[in-house]
Amino acid sequence: MTWTVRLEPIGVTATLADGQPLIEALVDHGLHVLQECGRRGMCATCHVYIEQGMAQLSPKNRREERTLAVVTTAQPHSRLACQTKVLGNGVVVRVPQGMYLDVMEDIEALIGRRTEQDLVHPITGEVLVETGKLITRSIVDQLRATRIQVSEYLRQTREASFSD
Ligand code: FES
């Protein structure tokens, strides 16, 4: 059995097999999802908002609840796409605006240019660099420091999840 899922604001309809994680629909349609934690529900780089059809999704597990609790942009209808299985038709997903902090080389290449969209923190969803801001060397250095914090956070979370 397959289900259709609507992705907004790009206006795409994706098809997923019963029980397939929502993240597959995002990746299949070329959306850049960083998947920093390897789809283990620990990084929130696959955070999406469910506009319709919450009842057609698998319930949140404990890890997803814990991760969403530290995402500053999370709302009651937030889900982590890697942890969310689609179980029926009628799901409408809104992908958050903004580009997650990605490979540092890509950001280095932006020095001297203006951001075309917000750069957001991969864990908290906080906006690090707003749209239209000029990327300078010092911004890149700050982003690099954030990147190190993110790796450290994921390492600690991974260790904590093994001792659960
Ligand atoms: S990919 Fe990390 S939480 Fe989904």
Domain region containing 86: 2-94
CA 130 to centroid of ligand 1, rounded, Å: 23
* Arithmetic mean of pLDDT, 22-49: 87
Long-range contacts from 151-154, C-beta under 8 angstroms, 24+ separation? 153/123, 154/36, 154/37, 154/42, 154/43
Ligand 1 binding pocket mutation candidate from 24, 26, 32, 45 (most atoms within 8 A of CB): 45
Single residue among 94, 113, 129 that ends a domain in this structure: 94
Q: CA-to-CA distance for 45 and 41, rounded, in angstroms?
A: 9
CA 38 to centroid of ligand 1, rounded, Å: 6
Work out which ligand 1 atom sits closest to the CA atom of 80.
Answer: 4
Single residue among 39, 62, 94 that ends a domain in this structure: 94
User: Is the same domain home to 127 and 50?
Assistant: no
pLDDT of residue 40: 93
Query: Which of 164, 58, 34 lies closest to 26 in space, CA to CA?
Result: 34
User: Is the same domain home to 121 and 69?
Assistant: no
Q: CA-to-CA distance for 127 and 138, rounded, in angstroms?
A: 16
For the domain that residue 20 is a member of, what is the CATH number? Answer: 3.10.20.30
Single residue among 50, 79, 94 that ends a domain in this structure: 94
User: Is the same domain home to 40 and 64?
Assistant: yes
The pLDDT tens digits for 7-33 are 887 788 999 999 999 999 988 887 778
pLDDT of residue 104: 55
- 3-class SS at 118? coil
Structure tokens at 10: 């790009």
The pLDDT tens digits for 105-160 are 566 777 888 877 777 776 777 788 888 888 888 888 887 787 777 777 777 766 66
User: Is the same domain home to 119 and 46?
Assistant: no
User: Is the same domain home to 71 and 119?
Assistant: no
As beta bridge partners, residue 127 has: 120
Number of domains, the chain: 2
Nearest CA to ligand 1 atom 3: 41
Helices (H), 17-136: 23-28, 62-68, 104-108
Structure tokens at 50: 């469910």
As beta bridge partners, residue 129 has: 119
For the domain that residue 131 is a member of, what is the CATH number? Answer: 3.90.105.10
User: Is the same domain home to 61 and 80?
Assistant: yes
Look up the pTM and report it: 0.74
* Arithmetic mean of pLDDT, 51-55: 96
User: Is the same domain home to 7 and 81?
Assistant: yes
User: Is the same domain home to 106 and 89?
Assistant: no
User: Is the same domain home to 26 and 71?
Assistant: yes
With a Cβ cut-off of 6 Å, ligand 1 is lined by: 35-37, 39, 41-46, 80, 82
Residue 39 has pLDDT above 90, yes or no: yes
Residue 63 has pLDDT above 80, yes or no: yes
- 3-class SS at 120? strand
User: Is the same domain home to 7 and 87?
Assistant: yes
User: Is the same domain home to 40 and 8?
Assistant: yes
User: Is the same domain home to 89 and 108?
Assistant: no
In sequence order, what DSSP letters do the residues of 123-154 get, joined into one string? TT--EEE-TTPBP-HHHHHHHHHHHHHHHHHH
Q: CA-to-CA distance for 85 and 160, rounded, in angstroms?
A: 25
